[in-house]
Amino acid sequence: MKLLLKIWRQKDANSKGQIVDYPLDGVEEDMSFLEMLDVLNEQLINKGEEPVVFDHDCREGICGMCSLQINGEPHGPDRGVTTCQLHMRMFNDGDTIFIEPFRANAFPVVKDLMVDRSAFDRIQHAGGYVSVNTSGNTIDANAIPINKDNADDAFSAATCIGCGACVAACKNASAMLFTSAKVSQYALLPQGQVEAVDRVQAMVAQMDAEGFGNCTNTGACEIECPKGISLENIARMNREYLSATIKG
Ligand code: SF4
Ligand code: FES
């Protein structure tokens, strides 16, 4: 395949960025999107030019590091996959592909296609944990009976990999899908009840402090989420928040 890549290049957070054209030949349909970018970067390095900076780690859909806006969609045109799982067979010979960083005020550009998503870490640190007795009398987690539906929903919420596609997809740059997944995974389990009131209030406060927008129920986040995190989690977080506010 022969492609025309239009890639966002930006020196650092304070510099102005721009789209730069990169024609690329010899792309195989079995390559992943990141492998295609590796080929481009090899060519740039061989020519003495600066390679395109982009985030990645596991390259198997579990770490949440890869984060590209491809033709206007977070993680590109496929559904239920991350950028590293996206294959070039989703594109056609002769295509022009726009590649940009995830855009949100709370995700400042570090360089080129890499953004700083540490705002998510700070939301998680605000309340995404449970108290565990480590005195030597620790109760085996499997000894606590848990309703099967709750266990399944908690597990589904816990599959959020913190990639940020929900924020990039949202016209308000809202982080409600991410935060609600993290709140839900504990709210549904008995182990999560000890800090439940403080957790939802602290995580929502941190989300707001980071400058993410509000949720206006458009649902783009759920469509673009590579892990199929459901909007039901946002409804659950809103109920948890209301309940926590009443309990004080
Ligand atoms: S909710 Fe989905 S899109 Fe948002 S951070 Fe988690 S996995 Fe990524
Ligand atoms: S590189 Fe880990 S999810 Fe894509």
Ligand nearest to the CA of 159: 1
CA-83 nearest atom, ligand 2: 4
Domains of the chain: 3-111 (3.10.20.30), 117-247 (1.10.1060.10)
Report whether residue 162 contacts ligand 1, using a CB cutoff of 6 Å.
yes
Report whether residue 119 contacts ligand 1, using a CB cutoff of 6 Å.
no
Ligand nearest to the CA of 174: 1
Distance 237 CA to ligand 1 centre (A): 15
Report whether residue 225 contacts ligand 1, using a CB cutoff of 6 Å.
yes
Please give the chain's pLDDT, 248 residues, in tens.
999 999 999 999 899 999 999 999 999 999 999 999 999 999 999 999 999 999 999 999 999 999 999 999 999 999 999 999 999 999 999 999 999 999 999 999 999 999 999 999 999 999 999 988 888 888 787 888 999 999 999 999 999 999 999 999 999 999 999 999 999 999 999 999 999 999 999 999 999 999 999 999 999 999 999 999 999 999 999 999 999 999 87
Protein residue whose Cα sits closest to atom 3 of ligand 2? 61
Q: How far is CA 155 from CA 63, 82, 180, in A?
A: 16, 19, 13
CA-120 nearest atom, ligand 1: 5
Give the C-alpha separation, 88 to 32, whole Å.
Answer: 6
Residue 248 neighbours by CB under 8 Å, 6+ apart:
none
Distance 82 CA to ligand 2 centre (A): 7
Give CA torsion, residues 172, 176, 179, 185, to 10 deg.
-160
Pocket test for ligand 1, best of 102, 210, 225 (most atoms within 8 A of CB): 225
CA-64 nearest atom, ligand 1: 8
Please state at what angle helix 196-209 crosses helix 176-187, rounded to 10 degrees. Answer: 170
Number of Cβ atoms within 10 Å of the Cβ of 219: 14
- Check the CA dihedral 33-78-7-66 and report its sign: negative
CA-163 nearest atom, ligand 2: 3
Distance 61 CA to ligand 2 centre (A): 5
* Amino acid at residue number 52: V
